[in-house]
Structure 1
Amino acid sequence: MKRLILPATLWLCLLFVVTAGSAAQARDLPDFTQLVKDAAPGVVNIATSRTIERRGGSPLHGFEGQDIPEIFRHFFGDRSPVPPGHGGGRGRSQERQSLGSGFVISEDGYILTNAHVVEDADEILVRFNDRREMAAEVVGSDPKTDIALLSVDADDLPTLTLGDSDALEVGAWVAAIGSPFGFDHSVTSGIISAMNRTLPRDAYVPFIQTDVAINPGNSGGPLFNLDGEVIGINSQIFTRSGGFMGLSFAIPINVAMDVADQLRDEGRVDRGWLGVMIQPVSRDLAESFGMDKPGGALIADLDPDGPAAKGGLQAGDIILAVNDQEVTRSSTLPRLIGRVAPDETVELSLMRDGEKMTEKVALGSWPDSDQPSRDQSRNDSQARLGVEVGEIDDALRERLNVDGGVEVRDVEPGSAAARAGIRPGDILVSIDHQSVSTAKELSERVEALPDDRAIPLRLYRDGRSLFVALRLD
């Protein structure tokens, strides 16, 4: 074999080309150093503590309930020391300490974070990157968007510049600063993977999906664009293992600030309420309703005293748009309605009996938690099981040859129902050997079920009866 011998000058030229190419490639990558220098003073570590009754068992350090194999998680650090001499017995109290992140939005002491970071906290301590520590109070929180507004007694605090989350594009570089596992002011980066993601039980937030590494302790921390502007609040991850897997979700800053402004001014958040129970429009349903393609939100039921019923809407209507904003899928509707203030009138584009039409409806205010509407109480009570169900009429029961039963219309990914193999379209007829004929009965049965024990659940599927084993966490 002949060996190729090149002159030394040629080797030097080749080395120069490779080196120059690598340098040019490095110059094309984003540099976050200045962004971090400017932003770090306005990012805070949030430590909370609360006293709880210990019920036995020893959760994994920082990952309570991680036996769920696949789920969307609100994510922040959690340390649960047992006080000396308590030994972890049943009925003993213990102090639980949690870690999260947040950031300053005004010089006079207002701080944004996630609602789940400070939920039920007895004490909240905010620590800045210059090692100052301050006690904080909750001005208000909104669990539906997972936003909390805190305040500290201070002036001239370093603030962060807020951007416009409506102007974001998929593929843009972003960076996060937070306190994963308590490591203050850690910086991670990535790109925007998708926009307007809807997650289970978070109907009011069009999440920003990124591949930025987010771990326990990052919750509530800021997500930046390359201009150093906050465009989101890191809130959740999707995980099979309990750790970061490349799917992180942030609350858009425009949504967060709308909530924060209401919390600061009113102490609570008012959002529009339509009073309907909706379901997705499948391909077959779209065809049956005379639609060219699936889309919109199908009204399965109405609160008889709600704004929709009073405004002339009917079960079977498909809502296609709200004030000319398209309802691409059923999960879009709560978000669009929630943006509108109560008592304001919205114009709804509908499909009814194969014909398009418009209706104007004056929205109501979301009912108080102690007086839930039909659709709210139904959704809340079924959240533990992870399903959305609808009642079936006598004609369908006769056609399916079943006594009683409710129809499963949606199954939440990662829920107990999903793990048991329950599917949309199944007719659920009994649970733990007790018959189910209405959504209310199902709610009562599920509420009384024990945790972590296999429960028999009987279904009708494709004309056949079958049992599945259900285990609630």
Structure 2
Amino acid sequence: MGIGFAIPITMVKTIKEQLIAHGKVDRGYLGIGVQQLTQELASYFNLESTDGVIIARMDEDSPAEKYGFKRGDILLEMDGKPVKSVDHFRNIIALSIPGTEIEMKVIRNGEQHSLQVILGSVSETEGDRLVSQDVIEKLGFIVQDLTDEISAKFVYKNIQGVLISNVQAGSPATLAGLRPGMLIIEVNRSNVSNVAEFDKAFQASQESKKLLLLVRDRQLFRYISFQLE
């Protein structure tokens, strides 16, 4: 059909070396969820460009939390090399061997900081990691807790739910009409007020393979369903 797929040679080499040395592939783990910097976000943070990615989610007891990263930090460089995109960042972390020490340059509150982090292992955290990571992989969107500042910005005063902070282009979430800024109020007819409750409700849907979301977009409400593979 004329369709081709390409895999970067550096990725193939890394996987091959780990298979030869250990018989398996163990991915590096930092414990954050990132999103691409848009022009609007760059303007909000008083940045002159959209280079880098912003931390939208922080896993509890993760290497990122241990070494001083904060939600809202903007990652610019890793070991002196610019962070080009969300996919670029994820590939670097995933293909790094657990225990690797990385120096990262971040912007926090308008000031640059250098942070050293030692990566953990995905295999050691899979049992405890948030299910929202599975949502990212399967459906292509990220959620975050609703803060007072965000509630005011999106006119969600005195409302509980989790905010959709990022949606991957071309993902099932995009095709279903989900967009950043929407609020998820229910998962499978159960109210959710934070990411932990969202994760728990999503986990419960794994058995039925069906996911029903009640979503609010400012003053509009609608149900969106997904069939989980």
Q: How would you bin the TM-score normalised by the shorter chain? A: 0.7 to 0.9
Q: Does 1:321 align with 2:77?
A: yes
Alpha-carbon distance between aligned partners in 1 of 2:185 and 2:227, rounded to the nearest angstrom: 18
Matched residue, 1:359 = 115
The one-letter amino acid of 1:349's match is K
Match of 2:11 in 1: 255
Q: CA deviation at 1:254?
A: 3.0
Secondary structure (helix, strand or coil) at the match of 1:389 reads strand
SS of the residue aligned with 2:7? strand
Matched, 1:392 2:146: yes
Normalised to the residue count of structure 1, the TM-score between the two structures is 0.43
Q: Unmatched 5+ residue regions in structure 2? A: none
Contact 2:135–2:142 (8 Å) recurs in 1: no
| Change beyond 3 A, Cα 1:423–1:249 | same
Report the structure, 1 or 2, having the larger strand content.
1
Say if 2:196 is the partner of 1:470: no
Which secondary structure does the structure 1 equivalent of 2:150 belong to?
A: helix
Q: Is residue 116 of structure 2 the alignment partner of residue 336 of structure 1?
A: no
Q: Deviations over 1:353-378 (max 9, x none)?
A: 1122212222222343652434xx32
**Shift in Å, 1:263:** 0.8
Query: SS state of the match for residue 127, structure 2?
Result: coil
* Mapped contact 2:76–2:82 kept (Cα < 8 A): yes
Any residues of structure 2 matched to 1:26-425 within 5 Å, and which? 244=1, 247-368=3-124, 370-374=126-130, 377-381=131-135, 383-397=137-151, 399-425=155-181
Residues 370 and 420 (structure 1), Cα distance of their counterparts in 2 relative to 1, 3 Å cut: closer
Which structure carries more relative contact order (alpha carbon 8 Å, separation 6+)?
2
> Alpha-carbon deviations, 1:248-289, whole Å to 9, x = none?
322123321221121122112233322222222111111121
- Whole-Å separation in 2 of the counterparts to 1:341 and 1:283: 33
Residue identity in the other structure for 2:150: L
1:420–1:468 Cα contact (<8 Å) kept: no
User: What is the Cα deviation at residue 447 of structure 1?
Assistant: 4.3
**CA pair 469-342 structure 1, distance change in 2 beyond 3 A:** closer
The CA deviation at 1:429 is 1.2
Q: Percent identity, aligned pairs only?
A: 29
Q: Is the 8 A contact 2:143 2:164 kept in 1?
A: yes
1:414 Cα deviation from its structure 2 partner: 4.7
What is the distance in 2 between the residues matched to 1:272 and 1:432? 33
Q: What letter matches 1:466 in structure 2?
A: F
Number of equivalences: 224
Q: For the structure 1 residues 274 and 460, does the alpha-carbon distance in structure 2 shift closer, same or farther, using more than 3 Å as the test?
A: same
Larger radius of gyration: 1
Q: CA RMSD in A?
A: 2.6
Report the Cα distance in structure 2 between the residues aligned to 1:353 and 1:405, rounded to whole angstroms: 27
Query: Per the alignment, do residues 271 and 443 of structure 1 end up closer, same or farther by CA in structure 2, a change over 3 Å counting?
Result: closer
Distance across 1 between alignment mates of 2:179 and 2:135: 19
Give, as a single letter, the amino acid of the residue that structure 2 aligns with 1:305.
Answer: D
Tell me which amino acid in the other structure corresponds to 2:177.
Answer: G
Shift of the alpha carbon at 1:430?
1.9
User: Distance between the aligned counterparts of 2:117 and 2:102, measured in 1?
Assistant: 6
CA distance in 1 between partners of 2:160 and 2:82 (Å): 37
Alignment-mate amino acid for residue 122 of structure 2: W
- Check 1:395–1:255 CA distance in 2 against 1; reply closer, same or farther (3 A cut): closer
